[in-house]
Structure formats: C-alpha cells, structure tokens
Amino acid sequence: MTGIAARQDSSPDPLYAPSPTGARAAASPAAARALAIARIALGWVFLWAFLDKLFGFGHPTPTGKGWLDGGSPTAGYLSGVDGPFGGLFTSMSGLPWADWLFMGGMAGLGVSLVLGIGMRLAAIGGVLLLGSLWASSLPIAANLFLDQHLVYLLTIIGLTLARAGDTWGLGLWWSRTGLVRKLPILR
C-alpha cells in the first residue's frame, strides 16, 4: 500500500465506514497535511468574501457599500444575472432573507473549513450555496459547464470525506463532543 496506511476505527459511522477487514484507508501524513492546507485556504476564501461584504473593504465590495453600511451582499451580483435562471435569481436580489442566507452560508463555510469542524454541514451548505451560485452564472462564458463554484463544491465534499478537519483542525476533538455524538450530522 504505497502512501496509504490502514488504521483501525471502531466508530459506527456510515459516511466513513471501514472496509470489511475493519481497517480504513487513511491518507499519508503528507497528503493529510496537504488536504489540511487546502481546507484552510478554501475556508479563508469564504471568510474573506464574508468579511469584505460585511465591512466593504474595497476588495471587491466598494468601501462604504458593506452590509453594515446598509449595502446588500446579494444585490450587486444577483441584479445582473441572466441565463436560464435569471428571473429567479434577479427576483431574490437584495431581499433581506437572501442576504442573511448568503452571508450565513459564507461565514459558516469559512469558519467550518478553517477550524475543521462541522464538515458535514459545510458539505451540505456548500452544495446548496455553491450549486446556487453555479446555476446563477449559467451560461458560463469561459467554460460551457465547469467553473470555480463546482470545483469548490467538489473540493468541500472531498475534504469532508477525507476527514481533512482532523489534521491541523479541531475535527477530531469536535467529533468526540457529546453534542456531535448525539447529532452525527454535526461532524
């Protein structure tokens, strides 16, 4: 088994089910660290987007147009959407519930990925948020189908399945808390 070590794990977790021999393939230490770096970097992408839209740092949200200044984090992007779902997304532009969901999703994804906790919820939320952003950008100018939203979506799913939050993150500690043991979806 080149680059892969087997580890025993007795936790009954269907998402991370061990093989019939009881061993689960684990990434090499170098691969685990690389996934941790990818997890933290992707988390920062979402945290930065949240902070910029909240405060209006000017990268890309203009100074003075942040959410705290009365700006809408969804109005700028969604008001110019065309394509097959243009009407749907344009109708959500600037609505308070859309702003709250978008900002909550950005902050939640960022915190979850940076800390390595709640990775299952991050995967679910990431699929919903990034899938919506992908659908709102159709047709994609540079590539007929694939864009960064789908790449991020698939990456979050992969990081979750690889338990990337356990390396350089709080994922292992988080999974042992009483709350997560009672509600495994929080893993």
How much is the pLDDT for 23? Answer: 47
Domain boundaries defined on the chain: 28-186
pTM: 0.85
- The answer to whether the CB of 83 falls within 8 A of the CB of 132 is no
| DSSP result, 109-147 | HHHHHHHT--HHHHHHHHHHHHHHHHHHTPSPSSSSS--
**Whether residue 3 has pLDDT greater than 50:** no
pLDDT, one tens digit per residue, over 62-80 is 999 999 999 999 998 898 8
How much is the pLDDT for 7? Answer: 41
- Does 12 sit behind a cis peptide bond, omega within 30 degrees of 0 on the bond before it? no
pLDDT, one tens digit per residue, over 18-42 is 444 444 556 799 999 999 999 999 9
pLDDT, one tens digit per residue, over 141-172 is 888 888 999 999 999 999 999 999 999 999 99
Which two structure tokens, joined as six digits, stand for 186? 């929080």
Type of residue numbered 130: L
